[in-house]
Amino acid sequence: MSVLQENDPYVKDMKQVETAALFRQILRIMEELRQGVKKPYKEVIDVTSGDPQKTGMKPLSFVRQILAACLYPQLINDNKLPVDVRQRAQRLLGECPGGSVGSYSATRGVPDIVQRVSEYISRRDGGAWSNPENIFISPGSQWSLANIFQILVNTEASTRTGILTPVPGYNTSILSIKEQGAVPVPYYLDEEQGWELHMEELHRALASAKGVCNPVALYIVNPGNPSGQVQSRQSIQEVIQFAFEKRLFILADEVYQDTVYGEKSEFVSYKRVLAEMGPPFSDTVELASFHSASKGMLGECGLRCGYVELVNLDPAVMKYIYTQFSKDSCAPVLGQIALDVMANPPQPGDPSYPLYIEETQHIRTTLVHNVNRAFTVFNSLPGLTCQPGEGGAFLFPRLDLPPRAIQKAKEAGLGPDTFYCVNLLEDAGVFARPGAEYGQKEGTHHIRICIMTPPDIMEELLRRVTSFHTQLMKDFS
């Protein structure tokens, strides 16, 4: 299969016309609802993004209390806030230049926060050393990823740079690769095996790039978006060995590492496995790992803050990266404070610990409930199949539509999954994203559903999808 084969999911431009039409549709429907136009639903359920607060999930009290005290320091003397919140806020303000969240920080981030992030990474990775000099706090993980793409891509070479990319994969990252003039080289996750990554598929993808581009990096999303799979330690070891043998830079997008809920699943970072494999892997394989305060338990998407840790990079390249990351001054300081809370949550004995545990456990319980309910309902409907989710914020159910429905979509100038999403939105008030935006094997069709939503909203969503899908299958059978 050639990298430039016409039907490869990332060679074609994104179906921008279809996507734009879908978003025009949601704006029209929202305006009609505001004007009192009668519809079968009173409000739209929007599950198009991994923004948990947009879907109705509540922010963590500890995070918001600290942010409030840092924004309004008079609260530090207010006994209505727990003492550990006030102490943390006072310390964080003391670490900010000028004692204010309204000031710039250093390019890498507030130095004390960078240090604590490195200590968090070491704890997460069983004591493997994390050098704070190799960590950059940024305005979101996607910002960091785009900048690393820019550094990897050689725009002056006669052969374009290639980056091995998962299918299905996160569409924003694919667009970033294309914007840098690089070629996304697709490797397909095995849907029938729970979206597993097979090494023979990586070898096939690398061979397909021969004569087309020069692959220099391997992009991994773990836990998967939109596929929801979680890689095993053995799988990660195999990927690292592959990268070592083929001299590929590993880009590990691990932003959903805190939301792993599969019974037999466990998140293990690429950094940890690399360190535990020892030489020659641990001191030669180049790695960039990404995490974010926007995802997982915190879910503070609007604060725009994440970090990248770089491993085994040449010091000369690190200097260039520092210059690259300096062009936007620094990450938002409020986002850095949220990142500090993510890295250092309340501990047993702290006044805020009981509520923090209660709230985070509620999020986990909600995720387990939602993924199990959605899995059961989707798989009970004819023409829908769904792999079990293990981690992350999404499910990616597969559509097996009747030929008449596919023909109707073609007549409308839409892909089958976009056709499905357009009608699901119009008839049932459920706003989902078509699988074509994330890549999929030719001849397959999917939709992406965010499962980070309150259980009552998920139940209403499943009720609407069931009614809509049953009627669609009946109409086109």
Rounded CA Rg of the chain: 23
pTM reported for the whole predicted model? 0.92
H helix or E strand, kind and range, residue 456: helix 455-476
Q: Which pLDDT band holds residue 338 (cuts at 50, 70, 90)?
A: very high
Closest CA to 143 of 106, 182, 173, 164: 173
Distance (Å, whole) CA 301 – CA 71: 18
Q: What is the mean pLDDT of residues 311-323?
A: 89
Query: Where exactly does CATH 3.90.1150.10 map onto the chain?
Result: 16-57+357-476
HSE (side-chain half, CA atoms, 13 Å) at 305? 25
CATH architecture under which domain 16-57+357-476 falls: Alpha-Beta Complex (3.90)
HSE (side-chain half, CA atoms, 13 Å) at 96? 25
pLDDT at 5 (0 to 100): 44
Encoded amino acid at 86, one letter: R
pLDDT at 469 (0 to 100): 98
pLDDT at 164 (0 to 100): 97
pLDDT at 173 (0 to 100): 87
CB count within 10 Å of CB 404 equals 11
Average pLDDT of the residues of the chain: 92
Query: Where exactly does CATH 3.40.640.10 map onto the chain?
Result: 104-343
Q: Which pLDDT band holds residue 125 (cuts at 50, 70, 90)?
A: very high
Across the chain, how many H-helices and E-strands are there? 15, 14
Tens of pLDDT, residues 193-251 = 999 999 999 999 999 999 999 999 999 999 999 999 999 999 999 999 999 999 999 99
Whether residue 450 contacts residue 393, with contact meaning beta carbons closer than 8 Å, is answered with yes
Ranges of beta strands (E only) in 51-98 are: none
Fold topology of 104-343 = Aspartate Aminotransferase; domain 2 (3.40.640)
CB count within 10 Å of CB 399 equals 22
Residue 282 has pLDDT above 70, yes or no: yes
Q: Is 214 exposed, middle or buried (0-12, 13-18, 19+ CB in 10 A)?
A: middle
Residue 43 has pLDDT above 90, yes or no: yes
Cis preceding-peptide flag for 345 (omega within 30 of 0): no
